Structure 1
Amino acid sequence: MNERLQAFSSWLQQQHSSFALITSSTNVFYLSGFWCDPHERLLALLVFPDGEPALVCPHMEVRRARRSALECTVIGYDDSADPWKEIDRHLRQRNIQATSIAVEKHHLSLARFERLAALFPNAHWHDSEEKLRQLRMIKDEREMKALRQAAKLADKAIEIGVSAIRPGVTELELVAVIEYELKKLGVERMSFPTTVLTGAKTADPHGTPGTAAVAPGDFVLFDLGVVVDGYCSDITRTVACRTLDDEQRFIYETVRRAQQAAIDACRPQIAMGEIDRAARRVIEQAGYGPYFTHRVGHGLGIDIHEYPSLHSANRAPLAAGMVFTIEPGIYVPPAGGVRIEDDVAVTANGIEVLTSFSKELIIV
């Protein structure tokens, strides 16, 4: 049994759980090695305090599942069949008399909970998500290898996007160039829909690319990530087209200094809130405090947003193996905004910044 499954099974023993039902694709992947987007169909991993886990998936995914989930009994079901009957049959075969069942309480839908509760009407339910978050928050070397490669490809994506900027090119055209060139390099999927914003739209932290065209004097903001072996990178860079005024330059330099202050604050055992406050102090001292409207960073891994959460109230300490973003920003509508984002890993002795594209002001 792999170390992840072993750690989770040991926790189930400590909790006196009969079994855990895992239904989120990311947690199934983390524990089993099998990635699947089942759409509306049920994907479920049954993990027991001891013994081999069981993976329940659509029949069309069985061959892939058996290649990936090497330590699981794989159970397929047809589209015309009821997967809950397959789960019930397997549990009966194992003589499972469930008294306590661990579920992902933020992921399991009410409809699916009702089906499970009908099978075990007298069972006690408890949450497994917090334990899985704790396990996933600390990356091993295999995970770090994937994250480093994803970061390198994110750097390359920014390089591609910046080199394609010219007056008149639209946001969506820049998105298309980036993703086309990455496909040629073998990238299968992005961490999230690639974001390119220009002009006034850069003042929207989560704006949507459209047909807006780049014009001289605009900021152009790129926010993107690449998936490698199931692990996400996430990078943001803001550059300029042709020229900038003095205030735009000051905003850019303020964000750059704020981001560096936050990176400099990162070290094992420091409270996460201190990292947010390090960036926020720089922005507040420059007079733009109200225009920094989000936390300084978020955890990174199989999901593009996972634990830890680097907000000002978080007193939890950084620990070796954590990977997260550092991404302060200033957003001043309608003038525009600047965000600079890197991926950072905590090591035993300090940190490793995984993304490396230049943060000096680039004017194209």
Structure 2
Amino acid sequence: MSTLHTLQQTLAHQQVDLCFIQNPSTIGYLTGFHSEPHERVFMLILVPNDKPLLVLPALDYELAKESTTGLQFLPHFDSENVWEKLAQTLRPYISQAKKVSIEKNFVTMQTLEHLTRVLPTIQFTHDVSSTIEQLKLIKTPEEIILLKEAGKTADLATKIAAQTLQEGITESAVIAEIEYQLKKQNVSKMSFDTMVLSQANAANPHGNPGLNKIHFNEFVLVDLGTMHQGYASDMTRTLFFGDNLSSEQEKIYNIVLEAHHTAREMAKIGMTASELDAIARNIITKYGYGDYFTHRLGHGIGQTVHEFPSIASGNDFVLQENMCFSIEPGIYIPGKIGVRIEDCFYLTPTGAQSFTFSPYSLNWKDYI
């Protein structure tokens, strides 16, 4: 049974008559057709007793037909009023539509205003977001294979980063080389904006790479991910670019490494997200750096780099087999230093299995 059919059955059980889905990632997940529509309307509508309707720019129509099965299409040209066209197409279904669902965690106010204007008798009383999150939560064996492939190119990207390091090179120049070399390897795009942050700039967990020059005997935090056939990777390594490591640099790195490895080794089916977060957090706190671990331990991953569940304090969600998530403890001392180590895993009866396999060495040469 396809994921799309499973969603249709679930919504039928919930007595939902119409469902509007607009997140391109969700549409790709459900149909196998991945597109970035930019400002154009791209929407999947589940209708009663008929094939789902894919509303899409006309320029994507032929590719969508080749990439999917079991859909009906509503292509639109830039010169057309897509909302009026949609209203006409949906007219046969409107009289039956008592309970209508929408992705509240994605839909914009502008889209909602257009829909309520052209479909004035409809009230959006149901949110499909959590239902879709639950579908995405447990990965199939086929999805895990794709995530493993994405992990391979993330490892390659980290190797390229290490090969590129030299005295005086800027953070942005390292990023440019990583992404140039990946393009040559047919990696279509990154899963998020690549971060290369040196020494004090890495003290901001989501810092902004720029023209900061990388110098010898500094930490360089490399946080990156790639896409493979619609699935994301995400990993972080903190490399020591130099040969004269200070005792403080070594101490902080080893604390983060201990927190990462311990959480990875203790992750198991049946524990809560909060319990896993606490394993890493308690280690960092034990060494006196708890106030400098300023974010959750991890997040889900799949077709997007941040998915449900959140591996965070206070989240009592129970971890299950084939859930995929990151473990990424860090210590960030403002204006001074930032260290993070991250891999993404899938959970099995024997523990957490990683998608990435780059070393955990302090010596940047070991990554080459």
Equivalence for 1:229: 229
Secondary structure of residue in 2 paired with 1:107: coil
Aligned length: 363
Equivalence for 2:11: 12
Equivalence for 2:293: 292
Amino acid at match of 2:145: K
C-alpha change, 1:154 and 1:124, in structure 2 (3 Å) is closer
Secondary structure of residue in 2 paired with 1:74: strand
> In structure 1, how many angstroms separate the alpha carbons of the residues matched to 2:333 and 2:217?
15
Equivalence for 2:151: 151
Task: Provide Cα deviations, 1:231-289, integer angstroms capped at 9, x if missing partner.
Answer: 00000000112122100100000000000111122111111111110000110011111
Structure 1 vs Structure 2 CA RMSD: 1.4
Equivalence for 1:83: 82
Taking structure 1 as the reference length, what is the TM-score of the superposition? 0.96
- Cα displacement (A) at 1:177: 1.3
1:360 aligns with 2:361: yes
Equivalence for 1:334: 335
Q: Is the 8 A contact 1:62 1:76 kept in 2?
A: yes
Q: Is the 8 A contact 2:298 2:311 kept in 1?
A: yes
Percent identity between the aligned chains?
A: 37
Equivalence for 2:200: 200
> In structure 1, how many angstroms separate the alpha carbons of the residues matched to 2:286 and 2:195?
29
- Cα displacement (A) at 1:15: 1.4
Q: Is the 8 A contact 1:266 1:350 kept in 2?
A: yes
- Cα displacement (A) at 1:201: 0.2
Task: Provide Cα deviations, 1:10-36, integer angstroms capped at 9, x if missing partner.
Answer: 111111111101011011111111111
Q: Is the 8 A contact 1:9 1:49 kept in 2?
A: no
Secondary structure of residue in 1 paired with 2:28: helix
Q: Is the 8 A contact 1:308 1:324 kept in 2?
A: yes
- Cα displacement (A) at 1:69: 2.4
> In structure 1, how many angstroms separate the alpha carbons of the residues matched to 2:123 and 2:223?
45
- Cα displacement (A) at 1:181: 1.1
Equivalence for 2:142: 142
C-alpha change, 1:292 and 1:78, in structure 2 (3 Å) is same
Q: How does 1:35-50 map to 2 (within 5 A)?
A: 35-50=34-49
> In structure 1, how many angstroms separate the alpha carbons of the residues matched to 2:199 and 2:101?
48
C-alpha change, 1:149 and 1:122, in structure 2 (3 Å) is closer
C-alpha change, 1:363 and 1:6, in structure 2 (3 Å) is closer
> In structure 2, how many angstroms separate the alpha carbons of the residues matched to 1:260 and 1:95?
54
Amino acid at match of 1:300: I
> In structure 2, how many angstroms separate the alpha carbons of the residues matched to 1:19 and 1:94?
8
Equivalence for 1:130: 130
In structure 2, the gaps of 5 or more residues are none
Secondary structure of residue in 2 paired with 1:148: helix
1:255 aligns with 2:263: no
Equivalence for 2:161: 161
> In structure 1, how many angstroms separate the alpha carbons of the residues matched to 2:330 and 2:48?
45
Equivalence for 1:187: 187
Secondary structure of residue in 2 paired with 1:168: coil
> In structure 2, how many angstroms separate the alpha carbons of the residues matched to 1:49 and 1:20?
9
Task: Detail structure 1 runs of 4+ shifted over 4 Å in the superposition.
Answer: 93-96
Q: How does 1:259-298 map to 2 (within 5 A)?
A: 259-298=260-299
Secondary structure of residue in 2 paired with 1:209: coil
Amino acid at match of 1:19: L
C-alpha change, 1:232 and 1:127, in structure 2 (3 Å) is same
> In structure 1, how many angstroms separate the alpha carbons of the residues matched to 2:40 and 2:164?
41
Q: Is the 8 A contact 1:199 1:218 kept in 2?
A: yes
- Cα displacement (A) at 1:7: 1.1
Amino acid at match of 1:296: L
Amino acid at match of 1:38: P
> In structure 2, how many angstroms separate the alpha carbons of the residues matched to 1:176 and 1:343?
24
Equivalence for 1:65: 64
> In structure 1, how many angstroms separate the alpha carbons of the residues matched to 2:142 and 2:344?
17
Amino acid at match of 1:310: I
Secondary structure of residue in 2 paired with 1:99: coil
> In structure 2, how many angstroms separate the alpha carbons of the residues matched to 1:248 and 1:348?
36
1:219 aligns with 2:219: yes
Q: Is the 8 A contact 1:98 1:123 kept in 2?
A: no
Q: Is the 8 A contact 2:162 2:364 kept in 1?
A: no
Equivalence for 1:116: 115
Amino acid at match of 1:75: L
> In structure 1, how many angstroms separate the alpha carbons of the residues matched to 2:14 and 2:263?
38
Task: Provide Cα deviations, 1:159-217, integer angstroms capped at 9, x if missing partner.
Answer: 11112212111111111111111111110000011110112101010111111111122
- Cα displacement (A) at 1:124: 4.9
Task: Provide Cα deviations, 1:22-60, integer angstroms capped at 9, x if missing partner.
Answer: 011011111111111111111110113543111000111
Secondary structure of residue in 1 paired with 2:158: helix
- Cα displacement (A) at 1:337: 0.8
Q: Is the 8 A contact 1:10 1:49 kept in 2?
A: no
- Cα displacement (A) at 1:3: 1.6
